[in-house]
Amino acid sequence: MAITQKITSNLWFNSNAEAAVNFYMSVFKNAKIGRRTYYTEEGQEYHKKEPGTVMTIEFWIEGQEFVALNGGTEFKFNEAISFIVNCDNQEEVDYYWDKLSAGGDPGAQVCGWLKDKFGVSWQVVPTILTDLIMDKDEERARRATRAMFQMKKIDIQALKDAANRKE
């Protein structure tokens, strides 16, 4: 498949890029795998990988192109970069939260953010959240924002209830 995006997210995994890509394929219904590249003897002094080991895998999630790289242990994921999953309803929030957080770091769960079992950070966000925290009624927005900061997984009804509660 030809590259169709100007900017593609490259995810550096230690040596489990294939497992990560397969996991993401199981979570997202609109997902596909593209081309793979393999390490050779060329550059082995740098990459230190056995020839024939998967180097990269192209994949798409919801039309967004990614590349997974088996790069080694030099770099780790952190929360400075995350992927936002916009959800239309609580059912979607629950689905993506449950799937992506399985085996991940429970200590990294706050305000809709989570870290999956590969260390990748995700934000599972209902689309109504932005509307509530940017409400023209500043008190309503403040109450919704306060409620959000008290949550791990976002609860849409609890956000609406908080926004509508009069203090």
Residue spans per domain, the chain: 1-73, 77-167
Measuring CA to CA, how many Å separate 84 from each of 36, 41, 49?
25, 38, 32
- What averages of pLDDT result for each successive group of 10 residues across the chain (167 residues)? 79 96 97 96 88 96 96 90 97 98 95 97 97 95 96 97 86
* Predicted pLDDT at 31: 97
Quick one: tokens of 59? 């994949």
Strand pairing class (82-87; 121-126): parallel
Tokens at 25, concatenated: 């394929």
**Cα gap 98→34, rounded to integer Å:** 26
Amino acid at 59: F
Q: Would you say the pTM of this structure is higher than 0.85? A: yes
Torsion, CA 120, CA 125, CA 129, CA 134, rounded to 10: 40
pLDDT of 1: 55
Structure tokens that stand for 61 in this block:
């999630």
Q: Quick one: which of 149, 94, 154, 83 has its CA closest to 121?
A: 83
**Looking at the DSSP assignment, which residues form a beta bridge with residue 10?**
67
Answer whether 1-73 and 77-167 agree in fold: yes
Please give the CATH architecture assigned to the domain spanning 1-73.
Roll (3.10)
CATH superfamily ID and name for 77-167: 2,3-Dihydroxybiphenyl 1,2-Dioxygenase, domain 1 (3.10.180.10)
Report whether 44 contacts 71 (CB < 8 A): no
Residue 2 confidence (pLDDT): 59
Q: Cβ of 76: how many Cβ atoms within 10 Å?
A: 8
Distance between CA atoms of residues 136 and 126, nearest Å? 19
pLDDT at 3: 59
